[in-house]
Structure 1
């Protein structure tokens, strides 16, 4: 019952004569897998109390108290701000025992409150604190480097044009026959540049890339 048979699986399109081009896999009794799963589920609620705080990131689904909340703590501490924390046990969070999950955007933490003003999503919170403490930089060298940046922008955008031209002659998407996250990222970049350069001439340049 406790025996395991180790097999090796060759990696696709790799030299089979090299040991490093194989993946080992352990084949064990199904009863053992079920037993281990039962033990893991029974221990799950107790893990936060058994494992130190500096090792919580090794527990499934845990992002606090270190994780995504740490950069928020750093900017608060660096600016001499005082704050309190409510750390929610992940067993309570995923077990439906925390009413905050219904209010959280996308059902995720961290949550940040500044008086009655509440924010979710770590990057959103960081942008808010950056503006609050005067540490938010929207565009690098906005005043001194804009003219040079704008002049060189067609060269930078040409890379995207080349990629688009290789897929159905630029009539579809960056890759494949349907939209992907790469298209959304490119659209977000182009929208940012439309805000930076509100001149109609530049809009024509961007639109020609976006089609």
Structure 2
């Protein structure tokens, strides 16, 4: 039995970065929940904020960096990614202004040759990668004026296990969210 359980709707949504992270790190997981289960209400009532996704690890372990500045920057970047995730449909025309800070962060981290923060991949990288793909569905040329972000997407997408997951039916056939976009 896989050590992890992801409880979420059958869409990419806020959970796809988690799928990418687990696949890239060679971790197995099982998925649970259908709209029918959610509509019954007991699952929603069991969620702390009444929302999904929910991630379960039979031996929950939290890791913390010793570099407090890096931890803070990871949180700041992830909050920036989440802000974009919630607003993306309303700002496609203004998207370059929102992407510029991420391009700048990449330029400040080994000239864009590393990850968004530090020299090790983090959850934020998967989250940003998923968000950039979503934006490319909505606005295919959105990265044309951002060479570092374009190279970042290509670099992360080429990671062996992540590339295999991204080509798999589990990823390809899962809608981005409930709006029917794929």
Q: TM-score range by the shorter chain?
A: 0.3 to 0.5
Relative to the length of structure 2, the TM-score reads 0.35
- What TM-score does the superposition give when structure 1 sets the normalisation length? 0.31
